[in-house]
Amino acid sequence: MELAKEVISQYGYFAIYGLLALGVVGMPIPDEVLMTFVGYLASISVLNYCVSIVVCFGGAFTGGLLSYTIGRKAGRPLFNKYGKWIGINAKRFSRVESWFMKYGSWSIILGYFIPGVRNLMCCFSGMSRMAMSRYILVSGIGAFVWCVVFISIGFYVGVLT
């Protein structure tokens, strides 16, 4: 987190955008902690609250779209080649895919709130060939709500202290 503070103080909103995009793609960045810290910085007038939400949403959405694209382009070939090594055969994948087609929209929205799951949901959306327009809508809703919740938590904790 110390590195994140240093990067944010040096590069501001660009750093927040980039760190969140990388975090959603799968890099080990504590996204929730980062957004809560951004909210706190907004509460002490270092950052603007509304701009922080827009920037965080942009980073999260970009990362999700990148994960979707990776899943769509490389997910199936990687699964076909390495799936057996992690215990996922074609039958299991088919069952998960049919479940995902039925409940995928909700799992993407709720998945944003579970570290690790958001990365898999975005990637699996691409692997299961979810329509990009549907993915953009659902992922946009999930990313926006996720950002508003965590930035607001940080903001109100900062106001109360």
pLDDT at residue number 127: 87
pLDDT at residue number 1: 57
pLDDT at residue number 43: 93
pLDDT at residue number 85: 76
Cβ neighbors of 102 (< 8 A, separation 6 or more) are none
Q: What is the pLDDT of residues 86-104, one digit of tens each?
A: 777 778 778 878 887 888 8
User: How many other C-beta atoms can be found within 10 angstroms of the C-beta atom of residue 160?
Assistant: 7
Q: Please name the residue ranges forming H helices in the chain.
A: 2-11, 13-25, 31-43, 49-70, 76-82, 90-111, 117-127, 132-160
pLDDT tens track of the chain, all 161 residues? 566 677 777 888 999 999 999 999 989 888 999 999 999 999 999 899 999 999 999 999 999 999 999 999 988 787 777 777 777 777 877 887 888 788 888 999 999 999 888 888 898 899 888 899 999 999 999 999 999 999 999 999 999 97
State the amino acid at position 32 in one-letter form.
E
